[in-house]
A and B are shown apart, each in its own frame.
Chain A
């Protein structure tokens, strides 16, 4: 009877030894299989730029900071959906220099900016397809079926990142120059796909540290030795385990030999994340510490909206009437709404039809409307009307008039206005 536990103990030790050998092999087998599957699936589903392109012109919208002419971009387009992924390394850093807002990764644009994809048509010349990017909105822009023909793939493509309504050729381009790059789309080779995938996976670009409020280029610097050290850490796995396997009589050492590389890899990756976070903190402190608004931040879109909200609050002080917010972008509506609280602010997403169906204008009398320029809803100062999206005209009187926004107060139309 007494031999039982000893036998069990011996077989347990053997089991653990097997485990120590099998698990790392499983790790590598699983990694290789997954990598292979992803490479094959990814290659079959997409086609990419044959080579990275350079922006051929300097891009300098006002208050924005310049994109460098040596900035690269890539386009990846899904064959089935026609969705395109616009990859602009470091773009968000630059966009965020003048923005208090953040992007989650390097592909997102702050409010008020849009990406336009251009193609140089052999017949019609430069044609634009603006693709609106919203703040914290998707990084994948639906390009429709732009790229689904061989001819399209051979066409020269370009892109522009600019304030909304300024990026279409022929519109006001005084504040920036159009950027344009050419790109030839081609199927990536298996090796290129694998290489790109590994690069992406090991790039360690957590959103923090680089994509929030980066003031200068320092926050975007790659942690210099992070990637090699990480790869070294993972590569040590089989060596450690094989060494540990020689110590079969000491199962605890085997366990340590198995788990330690994984733990080290985790910690190494985490150290890089921590480093980025620390850099992010330095930059956030520069921007926000003690509540002081830095000059750069003061020109950010959020601070602009906060300033508008202060003006509106002062103008409507004491009112309990709703304050309607009409703006062309979701960011302007939503952020101004937040800044205006605890006023009875409400976002008008669907134009005047959201407020006017089945009601007489008197129902809204006394309510205020903040209207930004550029949307469907327009203020007509001569007729003192607010129009757009519905036959109804709302009679208003101006309270504040600025270049790009107005605060209006809804009033009942006079008899003469009713008659007209």
Chain B
């Protein structure tokens, strides 16, 4: 129960900030989107409150962490309210609320999909919270630091295991330091507010994340397309991706967090694609980008894709520059292999060598066990988009993010010596998870757009 209390404490204080920030959503106010956003924003603020509380109070206890978090949430709400008041005048005033659903068929579909999702989340919650932390990366990378911080009630320093060879031995603890601390901070916050270290309770965080993403994508697609059935399908599609569910059932990985914030950033771009410099859009997109970059070191790729999406949403013509840049980069890599090349990723020389991973890559992408029939449906959507052009700003932005992510990943698998990640299926799946999450949103919006291209004016669709 303390874990659920901790969860509520994470979500509720962020609601005012989310409500104020998202009062004037382009498609009308959607409470499902606001509820999902509150969790995602709240999780970031909660994580940020850990180092802040340690700096302010010198200790990590429930009072210090809770107080710091409430302060951050209040400050965020005040800032959102102030910005709202300053910038509200003269801006485009959309509908106050998203349209009510009146069709009985649509209501039936929404009820059925909601029941389906609720059933899934319920079973996942039980599975995720009944067993200890078993995911290898979970306890070796992410929870190890959190466990020490929770038990020591302070942010003690960590050094890489090789530091044991230093003279003298550093006065600190030893753990991998190759990834940022955002997720360990969040687990620390959640555990301390939840009454102490209980690795089973960490599962609640992951279940809540899945619920938040489903709520957000439902609200987004509904606002963007005004089609509640499409919104329901998007929520079910995203919420039932087998591998995404697997990372909830087996809590402890960071990939699902990166995927969640990446697809959340994509949602923001869809909602605000007609006015991407809107302060609410910029704030939320900045949060999503920072989250991607600070949850995992490889999240820089996804953060970069969000920035590219923002530029394309602001100026759709930029997409041709982006495609050209991608093609040029691929050409350089192909022509440079075998050899060495400097890449900004981890700021080091990368050895380029071609490895044919076509067969295992196809097996991963097209098998049903991890992605259901997502890849097949995405192929249909891509062909439909190619034959029946129906793009808009939002889809242009998503196109660039999707193509860019896919190109970087696939090129990396073929040329950067990461082929091992493809033949080792769990590795490639973890890498593909943000892309797959984006693909669900893109596929639903693309198919919906193709069929309704003549019914919605572009300014309403994005």
- Residues of A bordering B, CB below 8 Å: 8-9, 12, 15-16, 19, 22-23, 26-27, 30-31, 34, 37-38, 41-42, 45-46, 78, 80-81, 83, 100-102, 104-105, 135-140, 200-208, 212-213, 251, 255, 258-259, 262-263, 265-267, 269-270, 273-274, 277-278, 280-281, 284-285, 287-289, 322, 324, 334-335, 337-338, 341-342, 344-349, 354-359, 363-364, 367
| A15 touching B130 in the complex, CB below 8 Å, given contacts A140-B424, A262-B373 | no
Q: Give the distance to chain B from A286, nearest Cβ to Cβ, in Å.
A: 10
Q: Give the distance to chain A from B44, nearest Cβ to Cβ, in Å.
A: 26
Complex interface: chain B residues within 8 A of A137 (CB): 424
Say yes or no: is B70 at the interface (Cβ < 8 Å to chain A). Answer: no
| A342 touching B167 in the complex, CB below 8 Å, given contacts A30-B383, A207-B369 | no
Complex interface: chain A residues within 8 A of B367 (CB): 200-201
Q: When the two chains form the complex, which single residue of B233, B369, B373, B424 contacts A206, counting CB atoms closer than 8 Å?
A: B369
- A30/B379 in contact, CB under 8 A: yes
Closest A residue to B243 by CB, please name it.
A206
- B130/A288 in contact, CB under 8 A: yes
Complex alpha-carbon distance, A349 and B161, angstroms: 9
- B131/A287 in contact, CB under 8 A: yes
Complex alpha-carbon distance, A324 and B127, angstroms: 34
Complex alpha-carbon distance, A137 and B425, angstroms: 10
- B130/A342 in contact, CB under 8 A: no
Say yes or no: is B451 at the interface (Cβ < 8 Å to chain A). Answer: yes
Q: A12-B454, A277-B123, A281-B130 are in contact. List 6 more A-B contacts (CB 8 A).
A: A203-B368, A205-B369, A207-B369, A251-B451, A354-B162, A363-B169
Query: Taking chain A's interface residues, is the majority helix, strand, or loop, or is none over half, making it mixed?
Result: helix
9 inter-chain pairs at a CB distance below 8 angstroms, sorted by A residue, are A23-B380, A30-B379, A30-B383, A46-B359, A100-B134, A266-B377, A280-B249, A363-B169, A367-B169
Say yes or no: is B147 at the interface (Cβ < 8 Å to chain A). Answer: yes
Complex interface: chain A residues within 8 A of B139 (CB): 334-335, 338
Complex alpha-carbon distance, A337 and B174, angstroms: 10
Complex alpha-carbon distance, A259 and B130, angstroms: 37
Complex interface: chain B residues within 8 A of A287 (CB): 131
Say yes or no: is B384 at the interface (Cβ < 8 Å to chain A). Answer: yes
- A41/B358 in contact, CB under 8 A: yes
Q: Give the distance to chain A from B263, nearest Cβ to Cβ, in Å.
A: 18
- B167/A273 in contact, CB under 8 A: no
Size class of the contact patch on chain B: 35 or more
Q: When the two chains form the complex, which single residue of A139, A202, A289 contacts B130, counting CB atoms closer than 8 Å?
A: A289
Closest B residue to A76 by CB, please name it.
B359
Query: Taking chain B's interface residues, is the majority helix, strand, or loop, or is none over half, making it mixed?
Result: helix
Complex alpha-carbon distance, A60 and B30, angstroms: 59
Closest A residue to B250 by CB, please name it.
A102
Complex interface: chain A residues within 8 A of B368 (CB): 201-204, 269
Listed residue (A200, A337, A338) with the most chain B CB atoms within 10 angstroms of its CB: A338
Q: Give the distance to chain A from B258, nearest Cβ to Cβ, in Å.
A: 19
Give the top 9 A-B pairs by smallest Cβ distance, nearest first: A346-B174, A138-B424, A12-B454, A342-B151, A26-B383, A342-B148, A140-B423, A338-B139, A288-B131
Q: When the two chains form the complex, which single residue of A31, A203, A354 contacts B164, counting CB atoms closer than 8 Å?
A: A354
Q: When the two chains form the complex, which single residue of A34, A140, A266, A270 contacts B362, counting CB atoms closer than 8 Å?
A: A34
- A262/B377 in contact, CB under 8 A: yes
Complex alpha-carbon distance, A247 and B296, angstroms: 51
Complex interface: chain A residues within 8 A of B116 (CB): 267
Q: When the two chains form the complex, which single residue of A9, A19, A37, A138 contacts B423, counting CB atoms closer than 8 Å?
A: A138
Complex interface: chain B residues within 8 A of A105 (CB): 369, 425
Q: Give the distance to chain B from A202, nearest Cβ to Cβ, in Å.
A: 7
